[in-house]
Every structure is written in structure tokens, then in C-alpha cells.
Structure 1
Amino acid sequence: MKLTGVELRKVRMPLKSPFRTSFGTQLARDLLLLRVVTDEAHGWGECVAMAEPLYSEEYVDGCADVLRRFLIPALFAHGNLTAIDVAPALAAFHGHRMAKAALEMAVLDAELTARGVPLARELGATRDRVPCGVSVGIMDSIDELLAAVGDYLDQGYLRIKLKIEPGWDVAPVRAVRERFGDIALQVDANTAYTLADAARLARLDPFELLLIEQPLAEDDLLGHVALAARVRTPICLDESITSARAAAAAITLGACRVVNIKPGRVGGYLESRRIHDVCAAHGIPAWCGGMLETGIGRAANIALAALPGCVLPGDTSASDRYYDTDITVPFVLDDGHLPVPAGPGLGIGPDAELLDTFTVATEWLPQ
């Protein structure tokens, strides 16, 4: 397959409501979409970096720059190309996993479309639908939180994840547990705590949470090991898991008992599958995280979530969780599940008119 050109498209998607985490409050989602054109087919990729380097060191404009100046030219120089070739071709460039993941995703979509193979089948999925959870941001009040959680449960979501930070942790968890009883409930700290907060985090143990996600800094594996010895609730790592090697190290050290796999964070869906395999080999439950993707990224995440080792509901919410209007045919919750796309490649593509509506800028990079 010969790469003939790449389109970079920056889009801005207004959120239905503000989404607040320990990183700040988002009112809209700035995203970078890629369309690779080959001599056999074209494919779409979605870069999940935020507008500012808050979740990670990557950000949308920086990803566009490194793609334009280094990553895309490296693939142009490669000649005949498959998705498996992408990571080795880009290995000389340190980091920039989100940018690399978007490029690999687009190449993978093009290759599988040309072959007539769905992404789910290529990755090894064993289900045709996946159970869905929802992530609930930090609210201004407990009453507002309870109303939001109640609405999501009424919609059929099978798991609730609460964003937490110091000062917004024990009280909201207690309120949700007391109001809604024995629901599947977990929390996500997004690195907001230190090991000095271990006693406070241990106060979450009586609420029988599924897990505490990424309580400490991403580079503090030993801190997570120490914390895991002081709390009963399973520790799940997110930002710390950047590769299959990092996952194996974290598991071996005892830093986590659950792993959140985010393809953008780890460099792509092929590395995500390797992380899944590492977790399965160690008997560690995995699940697919989310980054407020459009329908393009959501379709790929659902394919990953359908793998056998992804045994917990992921953040693969329906399209209307974040957006009044998506750029693809919307994913609609059905009995707490979303269908796994069955068409070739991602199995879905953007609506051209809707995509143009949300597009801020485009750039065509020819071979």
C-alpha cells in the first residue's frame, strides 16, 4: 500500500455541558483528525491530545507540528506500507505517542478497508457489543452530582465513574453509594493525590468501589506500590501505562490490579492489543478508557473494548454523552451496550457536511 497524501483537519466540538476534572474544565473539545490517502483506500485517524498539555505533554497544535514536520514525511519515505510498519518507521522520534497513534489508526483504517476486514476482527474481538460506563465530572454540588448520576443510570449505563480530587472525594462517593446502592462504581483521580493522602484514599474502602484510577503521578510507580499496600480498593493505572513494557513493569511491581488502556496514550491500537495480552497473561482485568472522542475514535475504542481481556465496562459512552451532534452516525445506547462496528476498517466514517461544520482548519500534505 502506497501512501500518497495526508489531510490534517482541526475540529472544535462543543460539549453538551462543561466537563470538569482535576486538569480543569472543558467547554469544547479541540481535536485533530487525519485522513490518509493510499493507492488502495483512504482511512481516518483521531488524535486525542487536548488543546493544552494538561493530561500529558502533548497538545493539539504540537501534534499537528510533529506530524507535519517529522512523522508523515517518515512514512512517505517508507515506500510500501502496512499498519505494522508504522511504529518501527516512527521509532526514531521520541515520545509523541498521541500523534503516532492517530497516524497508525488512519493507516490501519485504510489497510483494513482495502482488505475488507473490520478492526474488531483484526484486533481479536470476541463480542459484537460491549457494556458501557460513563465518566462523571466534578460538580459544583452533591445535589448536582446525584441528579447527573441518576440520569445516566436511567439511560442504562452499567458503570459510573466519578472524577475526584482532594476535597471532592469521600463525600460525593458516600452520597452516590447511599442514594443508588449497589451500582458498579469507581473513581478517577487523574494524578491529583500524593502518597501523603493514603489515609484519605483508604477512607474510600468501605464503599466497595471497583477501583481507584491513577491516584498518584504517572511516574510514581513505587508510590502506587506503597499505596496499594495501604488501601483495600484495587488500584488502576491510566497515565502510567504508556506501553506493554510499562504495563508489565507495573503489574510485576504490584503497582496496580487493573489497567485502563487508552490507545492514544500508548501509541496506537496495535500497542493497545499488546497491553491487553500482557494483562490477560497476568490475570489482570483491563478496560478501554476514553478521551471525549468523536464517533471516529469511539468506533475504534469499541472494537478494542470487545477483546476478551477487557472485562470491565469502559468509557465508551454513547455519542450523546458529550455531543449534541457527532460527526458520524451516532452511537446509541441499547440496554447499556453499544454495537461493535462490523464494516471494513473502523466501520464508520464522518459525515462530510457535519465535519465541515465543526472544522476550524485543514491542511493537505502530498507525497
Structure 2
Amino acid sequence: MTLQIRQIKLHRLKMMLNNPFTTSFGSMQEKEFFITEAIDANGIRGFGESVAFISPWYTEETVETTHHMIKDFLIPLLRENDIQHPNDVKEVFKPVKRNNMAKAALEGAIWDLYAKSETITLSEALGGNKKEIDVGISIGIQPTIDDLLQKIDHHINQGFKRIKLKIKPGHDYEMLRQVRQHFPDTPIMADANSAYTLQDIDQLQKLDELDLMMIEQPLAHDDIVDHAKLQAAIQTPICLDESIHSLEDVQKAIELNSCRIINVKIGRVGGLSEAKQIHDLCRENTIDIWCGGMLEAGVGRAHNIALTTLPQFVLPGDTAGSSQYWEKDIIKPEVVVNDGMITVPDKPGIGFEIDDEALERFTISKETFYLC
């Protein structure tokens, strides 16, 4: 049966983070993004969220390129093609190269619409079966080591299952050594956001003594080959993030032994359909995976929760509760973490209601596109 999508609405939002988020690239305090809304002939509303940032520090995509691609290319493709199932969206969007975050923002709304029209949860639509998911927390670079230790202690007391710390040259081994000294049994991973090269191999080898869960994306954002060389030289598992944009990238990384773990981000790989295929391949090859975060608001957070219910997501993800990031979220109820776990919602679709009042409050512009 064809999904009778009648309208696509683009809500452009601007929301302030509770605290600045600092990586090796810099700091950000506010997030600008799109909430996508797909409406069918019965008035059912499905929601997705864009994850590109205002500047191209994570990938080449930005808020502005997302808007351009959705408005001028992706929505016209939806007009021209029938969608029987959300998996069809991936094929419909194939003529457009890359721009995965723009694609995922629309595809996510269509997945939510589909699940609601079938009266099933998004988790069930994807084939997930977990009732609860483990949650970790990502901590940006802090002004002092004491500030960092206090934050870690606070999050451990909240029950988070692992701590992710940002590193960069000059802010790595000594910081992590002090953290490990204070928290000898805490699962800790380091995220480098491509801040190193193979010339830093001696420094990265020193991290082996700290018993880290993984080091995430230490080398170039588009590299798979050098990561294979580095993985052969260190004991700490490498996790690939920015290098993985597709199922094909995962196939190459597995063949080259470039990593032992993969961070799956829905926006980075182009949507839930591709993410599910990556999950299936990693399960076949016993590669551990986890769901990364992109400072999402409630809609994107709900999509991450649904994806994480698939069985090969064996490591805690970055999907912390709404209050960790936002004074007010755009869903109700907000995402809540209890003792390091999130209960998977059992209502149709993403399982959370849109707080239309909050959505309107944070919206700075809105457009409606008619598909028929």
C-alpha cells in the first residue's frame, strides 16, 4: 500500500544548550536545525530531525545545505515517486550524491509516519526488541581537570554506563591518566574527532595502558587505510565515526581491519534504512556497534532510541536524557534516564508526542510543501 504523503513541513528551530559543548573544533552553545514533518491523507503526522550544524566542522553539511537539498532536490523526488515503504526512500534519493543528513531528516519523518499508520512502534518497524537501552554520556573539554573530575563523578552517580571524553593533541594522555586514577573501574572512551595523524602513533600507543573501551576516530575524517595501520599498532580498539557514511564504507573497514567498533549515527549514514543494513552487516561480522549522538532534540533522540533496540547495539550510546542538554525539549514526555537506562516507549511511531507549544516557541521559520 502506498504511503499517501500529502505535505512536508520544515520547521527551522533554534534552541540553547544548557551548557557549551566543546570539542577539538571549538565550542557551541546554541543549536539550529530542522524538524521535518510528513503528513498523510489521514492527517497522521510523522517527524524527523536534521543533525547538521551551522558550520561544516563535523561533515561538509550545514543547516543551509540541508535546507537547500531538502527544498530543491529531495522533496521534488518525493513528488515524482510513490513510497510503498520507508526503505523506498533510500532508492528514491539515490540520484542525489552524499548529503546524508538532509536525506535522513526526511526519511526519519517518513519512518515515523509509516509506523504510526501501521499502529506499531518505530522500534518494532525496524525489527528491534529491547525494552530498555543502556546510556552513556559525552563530556566536552572542560576548563580544568577538577571541573572534569567533578562532572564525571556527577554522571557516574546518575548511573551512566560509560563516560566519553573529548581529546586532542596536548589534551590526551595526562588528562586520561588522571581520570583513570580517580575512576579505575569506570568504562571510559576517548573521542578524538580526527585530531591526530600517524605521526602521533607513539602518543596514541601510550593510551593502551589506560584500559580504554575505545578511541574514536583518531585519524582523518575520511580515512580507512591509515586507521588499519594504527589499529595494528595499538591494543586499544579503534572506533570509526566520521569515516563511515555507508554500508560500503563498513564493508571496506571490516576487510581492512580498520577498527573493532563502529559508531552508527543515523544522520551521518543517510537514514534508518542504511543504519539497519550496517547493523546487520556488523552482526554478521561480530563488530560491536553503538548509536552516537549529535546533540539532538527530542525527535532525533527518539529515533536513536528506536535504532538502539536492534540486537547488535551492544555498547551504551550517547542518547542521554533531554535535561542533560535542554532546559525545555520539544517532546512530551521528555526522554528520561533512570540509573543509566532509558525505557523504550510503547506508543506508535517514535513513541513521544510533539509539544506543539514548545515547537512553535523555538521555531524561527516554517515552510509547507505539497506533494500532490
Q: Same fold (TM over 0.5)?
A: yes
Instruction: Give the secondary-structure state (helix, strand or coil) at the position aligned to 2:353.
Output: coil
- Verify: 1:156 aligned to 2:162, yes or no: no
Instruction: Give the gaps of 5 or more residues in structure 2.
Output: none
- Verify: 1:281 aligned to 2:284, yes or no: yes
Q: Deviations over 1:110-142 (max 9, x none)?
A: 111011011111212121010100001011111
Instruction: Give the secondary-structure state (helix, strand or coil) at the position aligned to 1:290.
Output: coil
Q: Deviations over 1:130-176 (max 9, x none)?
A: 01000010111111111111111111111000011111111111111
1:112 and 1:345 in contact (8 A); partners too = yes
Q: Cα offset for 1:331? A: 1.2
State the one-letter code of the partner of 1:18: P
Q: 2:28 aligns with which of 26, 29, 33?
A: 26
Q: Deviations over 1:85-123 (max 9, x none)?
A: 111111001111000011111011111101101111121
State the one-letter code of the partner of 1:28: E
Q: Tell me the equivalent position of 2:255.
A: 252
1:3 and 1:79 in contact (8 A); partners too = no
Mapping 1:266-345, distance limit 5 Å: 266-328=269-331, 329-345=333-349
Q: Deviations over 1:49-83 (max 9, x none)?
A: 01111100000111011100010011011135431
CA distance in 1, matches of 2:102, 2:25: 21
Instruction: Give the secondary-structure state (helix, strand or coil) at the position aligned to 1:166.
Output: coil
Q: Deviations over 1:193-223 (max 9, x none)?
A: 1111111111111110000000011222111
State the one-letter code of the partner of 1:35: E
Q: Tell me the equivalent position of 2:175.
A: 172
- Verify: 1:132 aligned to 2:141, yes or no: no
- Verify: 1:118 aligned to 2:121, yes or no: yes
- Verify: 1:57 aligned to 2:67, yes or no: no
Q: Cα offset for 1:240? A: 0.8
1:4 and 1:366 in contact (8 A); partners too = yes
State the one-letter code of the partner of 1:6: I
State the one-letter code of the partner of 2:121: P
Q: Tell me the equivalent position of 1:141.
A: 144
Q: Tell me the equivalent position of 1:182.
A: 185
- Verify: 1:97 aligned to 2:95, yes or no: no
TM-score of the superposed pair, with normalisation by structure 2: 0.97
State the one-letter code of the partner of 2:25: F
CA distance in 2, matches of 1:223, 1:337: 35
1:319 and 1:330 in contact (8 A); partners too = yes
CA distance in 2, matches of 1:362, 1:355: 11
State the one-letter code of the partner of 1:26: M
Aligned sequence identity (%): 42
State the one-letter code of the partner of 2:9: E
Instruction: Give the secondary-structure state (helix, strand or coil) at the position aligned to 2:354.
Output: coil
State the one-letter code of the partner of 1:7: K
Q: Cα offset for 1:264? A: 0.4
2:126 and 2:276 in contact (8 A); partners too = yes
1:44 and 1:349 in contact (8 A); partners too = no
Q: 1:351 aligns with which of 344, 351, 355?
A: 355
CA distance in 1, matches of 2:55, 2:70: 17
Instruction: Give the secondary-structure state (helix, strand or coil) at the position aligned to 1:63.
Output: helix
Instruction: Give the secondary-structure state (helix, strand or coil) at the position aligned to 1:85.
Output: helix
In the comparison of the two structures, how many residue pairs are matched? 367
Q: Deviations over 1:330-366 (max 9, x none)?
A: 1111121001121111111320111111111111112
TM-score of the superposed pair, with normalisation by structure 1: 0.98
State the one-letter code of the partner of 1:192: A
CA distance in 1, matches of 2:288, 2:129: 16
Q: Tell me the equivalent position of 2:37.
A: 35
Q: 1:15 aligns with which of 17, 20, 24?
A: 17
Instruction: Give the secondary-structure state (helix, strand or coil) at the position aligned to 1:36.
Output: strand
RMSD between superposed Cα atoms in Å: 1.0
Instruction: Give the secondary-structure state (helix, strand or coil) at the position aligned to 1:357.
Output: helix
- Verify: 1:79 aligned to 2:44, yes or no: no
Instruction: Give the secondary-structure state (helix, strand or coil) at the position aligned to 1:210.
Output: coil
1:263 and 1:272 in contact (8 A); partners too = yes
State the one-letter code of the partner of 1:71: L
State the one-letter code of the partner of 1:69: D
Q: Tell me the equivalent position of 2:231.
A: 228
CA distance in 2, matches of 1:265, 1:153: 29
CA distance in 1, matches of 2:272, 2:352: 16
CA distance in 1, matches of 2:31, 2:159: 25
2:90 and 2:273 in contact (8 A); partners too = no
Q: Cα offset for 1:225? A: 0.7
State the one-letter code of the partner of 2:234: V
Q: Tell me the equivalent position of 1:3.
A: 5
1:125 and 1:307 in contact (8 A); partners too = yes
CA distance in 2, matches of 1:342, 1:301: 15
CA distance in 2, matches of 1:6, 1:22: 36
